[in-house]
Amino acid sequence: MNLEQGAPIVVGLAGQPNVGKSTIFNLLTGLRQHVGNWPGKTVERREGTCVHDGVELRVVDLPGTYSLTANSLEERIARDFILQERPDVVVMIANAAAIERNLYLLAELLCLPVPIVLGINMMDVAAAEGIEIEAHVLSAALGMVVVSMVASRAEGVSTLVTEAARLAQNPAGFNPARPEIGAAHRDVLANLRGLLGNSVPPPYPPEWVALKLLEGDQEITELARSWNPDGNWQKISALLHAHEDAELDIAGGRYEWIGRMVRAAVKQPRLGEISLTDRLDRYAVHPIWGMAILLVVFIAIFGLTFQLAAPIQEWLDERVVASGRAWLRTGLPAPQWFSAFLADGVAGGAGTVLTFLPVLMVFFAVLALFEDTGYLARAAYVMDRFMHFMGLHGKSFLPLFLGFGCNVPAVIGTRVIEARAARLLTILLAPFVPCSARLAVLAFLTPVFFGSWALPVAVGLASLNLWVLATIGVALNYTVFKGQQTPFIMELPLYHAPTARNVVYYLWQNTRAFLTKAGTIILLMSIAIWALGYFPGPDLEKSYLGRLGYALSPLGELLGMDWRLLVALLSSFIAKENAIAALGILYGSGESGEGLAEILSVRVTPAAGLAFLTATMLFIPCAATIAVMRQETGQWRWVLASIGLMLFVSLFAAVIAYQIGRVFGLGIPHA
Amino acid sequence: LLAELEPGALAIVREVGGGRAFAGRLASMGLVVGSRLEVLQNSPHGPMLIRVRDTRIALGRGEAAKVLAEKVTG
């Protein structure tokens, strides 16, 4: 093998969704990955390097797309990468269990000027479904290298890389079979190509542009219009208009071609054989059983999360953060304000937020486990009918569900929703999902205020959040986002055993994102709030924050909340769990080290406590969530809309809660 | 109509309405005119589930109403 010095080989990793592409990407690049965004887009761009037999490869993971027609951002990104960055080779991964549909993408890729290696993954899953594929027969038919793989066991990956490197070094040898357009439109295509003449600038191949025009691709149509003088464009446009049916013919022609390619190589299962997926789906997507199963999964995820992680969180909070802060406050040979800055601003704010890492990690790990089996797509399917009342569909369920762990990944997770209106609505609704931090506040404070009634009150308040979410969703659907129904089309992948590697990577990526946020935005915000509460001194009551609390006390009257509760509520803006830390400082439990619960139960009436909890549960999104909302919507106005909405809803609900509480005689402290 | 077929029914797609983008998306997931499909689930409300070319596709009711399919036996 000739060792090429200098530039590494650029490999584009393409494939449809649910083919195990990320598993292969992770196997190839390990931890040598870089995650960024595609220029100007909110779609993740992952690339990494790997060295194989002394050859360095730079692997770019393209978004998983079913086709290369510019219907979605992902599809546009995938094809722009191939056209403009000209990778040396494209490795396409196909799912053996749905080979025909997967080869549709290959049929599209083959129209682009790039050599391709085909990897057929999940051979084991296909075999379990009774599908057998002979790679060498398919390879002979297609005239290209086909590697059979089981990526979950790392089988075939090494061969795939070797073949990709070999092809990249000798691209002239790539001469595969290519799909042809149906006879009915062959002349039309030739005409179109003729009309385009040499108006098509590089890097676009003219033949491909003609084909895409005939398919009605919007982006290419606009480009071609800009390339051609008006007179010529009118001719092209007239020709296209006369053959609007060509798209179906092209798609149909591709499947016909695929059918010929796989005929000899693929053995389909006998009819009437019932696979494992069918058997499981009989219950998992059933309108009634499906809901029951979802409920059980739901409880399992939360049960596991809080059983496993809550003790660790408590331990971190009490042993590590609290004692660390005590040491910082007294044991440090530094000016007093600096010790306070480290102890309260850094450790008390960002440090406390970090203690929630175990909760998040367990939540994400359990979620990754379900995701990797293919179950979550079923959950989205089952929930679809309910999401429709809010003008959303099943796909919005998953990001909202993530919100129970943390609203930040929920907002980021809305990327799976194609339609912008539905995505915006989901982003606006996401902060209403009670995140683990708010649930922790709830779990800590309800026993304080309500004693033996703690559990029903806590469940009631969490349900209130979901009820408000649904109500606002329905209301927005009938007003702001009126009539923007988005199509629900989703693949339900085959069930398969989850692999530890995928779960670990999912966990690692989400954890890293959270740590980055905690180290930057959350840290800065904690310091800012600390400064507002520390200066100009001498104590919190006289600080800027305290003064703000006093200024708001007329409002507090309505809510039954004094300035301390108001300030605690405001401080939850940094991070929801700060409400507890702030109460600790404000009610002076810091010195005695404990007893916040006792102090609160004596000094705050249950009605005021109810109002405080209601407001905290529904209060404006935390700083980190706001930051990602800005990033994902690209505009401040949606973020401001969300803040205004939640501010109004939370205060309104808190007033009602307080007044109801008083009516029921909760207006006096129970000592 | 696809939306009216009962679970277990086999059918052949005769027409896909709803515009080019919609038809293109279905095509890329394996559903084109002439494809054979099997209805896996269809309840009066909520989405329906079909199998076409070894792929299970969930379709909303509105989407299913745009696909014209003819029932076949065997």
Q: Is A248 on the interface with B (CB under 8 A)?
A: yes
Q: Is A97 on the interface with B (CB under 8 A)?
A: yes
CB contact under 8 A, A381 and B49: yes
Q: How far is CA A640 from CA A69, A280, A497, A541, A647, in A?
A: 35, 44, 43, 29, 10
Q: Give the best-scoring range by mean pLDDT among A322-331, A359-368, A463-472, A552-561.
A: A463-472
Average pLDDT on A442-467 reads: 87
Q: Average the pLDDT over each of A132-146, A244-258, A414-428, A518-532 and give the range with the smallest value.
A: A518-532
Give all strands (DSSP E) within A27-128, no chain letters: 33-37, 44-52, 55-61, 89-95, 116-121
Contact B20, B66 (CB under 8 A): no
At residue A144, φ and ψ (nearest 5 deg) are -150, 165
Alpha helix (H) residue ranges in A116-265:
123-128, 135-142, 157-169, 183-196, 206-215, 218-227, 230-242, 246-262
Tokens 């089309």, located at residue: A489
Q: Average the pLDDT over each of A281-285, A630-634, A662-666 and give the range with the smallest value.
A: A662-666
Mutate to test the interface with B, among A490, A494, A495, A496 (most CBs of B within 10 A): A490
Chain B contacts of A218, Cβ < 8 Å?
Answer: 21
Q: Is B65 on the interface with A (CB under 8 A)?
A: no
Record the pTM.
Answer: 0.82
The number of beta carbons lying within 10 Å of the beta carbon of residue A132 is 14
Contact A571, A565 (CB under 8 A): no
Quick one: which H or E segment has residue A476?
A: helix A454-478
Contact A649, A617 (CB under 8 A): no
Tokens 């692999």, located at residue: A499
Find the Cα–Cα–Cα–Cα dihedral A403, A408, A410, A414, rounded to 10°.
160
Length of chain A: 671
Residue B19 to residue B56: CA distance in whole angstroms: 22
Q: What pLDDT digit, counting tens, does each position of B7-46 carry?
A: 888 999 998 887 878 888 888 888 988 888 999 888 877 7
Q: Is B28 on the interface with A (CB under 8 A)?
A: yes
Q: How far is CA A274 from CA A57, A101, A281, A495, A560, in A?
A: 42, 20, 11, 14, 62
Say whether pLDDT at A221 is over 70: yes
Identify which of A71, A255, A492 has the shortest CB distance to residue B24. A71
In this prediction, the answer to ipTM > 0.85 reads yes
Quick one: which H or E segment has residue A75?
A: helix A73-80
Tell me the nearest-neighbour CA distance from A207 into chain B, angstroms: 20
Instruction: Please tell me which residue of chain B has the smallest CA distance to A18.
Output: B55
Residue A472 to residue A623: CA distance in whole angstroms: 22
Contact A626, A522 (CB under 8 A): no
Mutate to test the interface with B, among A248, A258, A294 (most CBs of B within 10 A): A248
Say whether pLDDT at A217 is over 60: yes
The DSSP call for residue A431 is G
Q: Average the pLDDT over each of A138-152, A405-419, A498-512, A581-595 and give the range with the smallest value.
A: A581-595
Say whether pLDDT at B4 is over 80: yes
A270 band by pLDDT with thresholds 50, 70 and 90: low
A412 band by pLDDT with thresholds 50, 70 and 90: confident
Q: How far is CA A277 from CA A98, A126, A195, A377, A668, in A?
A: 13, 12, 50, 13, 58
Say whether pLDDT at A330 is over 70: yes
Length of chain B: 74
Please report the pLDDT score of residue A494 as a whole number: 86
The interface residues of chain A toward chain B in range 610-639, judged by CB-CB distance below 8 A, are none
CB contact under 8 A, A487 and B30: no
Identify which of A381, A385, A489 has the shortest CB distance to residue B29. A489
Higher-confidence residue of A393 and B31: namely B31
Tell me the nearest-neighbour CA distance from A286 into chain B, angstroms: 8
Q: Is the dihedral of CA A395, A396, A401, A406 positive or negative?
A: positive
Chain B contacts of A182, Cβ < 8 Å?
Answer: none
Tell me the nearest-neighbour CA distance from B71 into chain A, angstroms: 17
Say whether pLDDT at A590 is over 70: no
Q: Is A394 on the interface with B (CB under 8 A)?
A: yes
Contact A583, A564 (CB under 8 A): yes
Please report the pLDDT score of residue A312 as a whole number: 85
Say whether pLDDT at A396 is over 70: yes
Please report the pLDDT score of residue A482 as a whole number: 67
Tokens 């001469």, located at residue: A175
Listed residue (A81, A113, A91, A77) closest to A19, CA to CA:
A91
CB contact under 8 A, A285 and B41: yes
Tell me the nearest-neighbour CA distance from B37 into chain A, angstroms: 13
Instruction: Please tell me which residue of chain A has the smallest CA distance to B55.
Output: A98
A92 band by pLDDT with thresholds 50, 70 and 90: very high
Tokens 């200024």, located at residue: A551
Contact residues for A509 (Cβ-Cβ < 8 A; gap 6+): A35
Residue A476 to residue A474: CA distance in whole angstroms: 6
Q: What pLDDT digit, counting tens, does each position of A538-553 carry?
A: 676 778 877 888 888 8
Q: What pLDDT digit, counting tens, does each position of A496-511 carry?
A: 888 888 888 888 877 8
Please report the pLDDT score of residue A428 as a whole number: 92
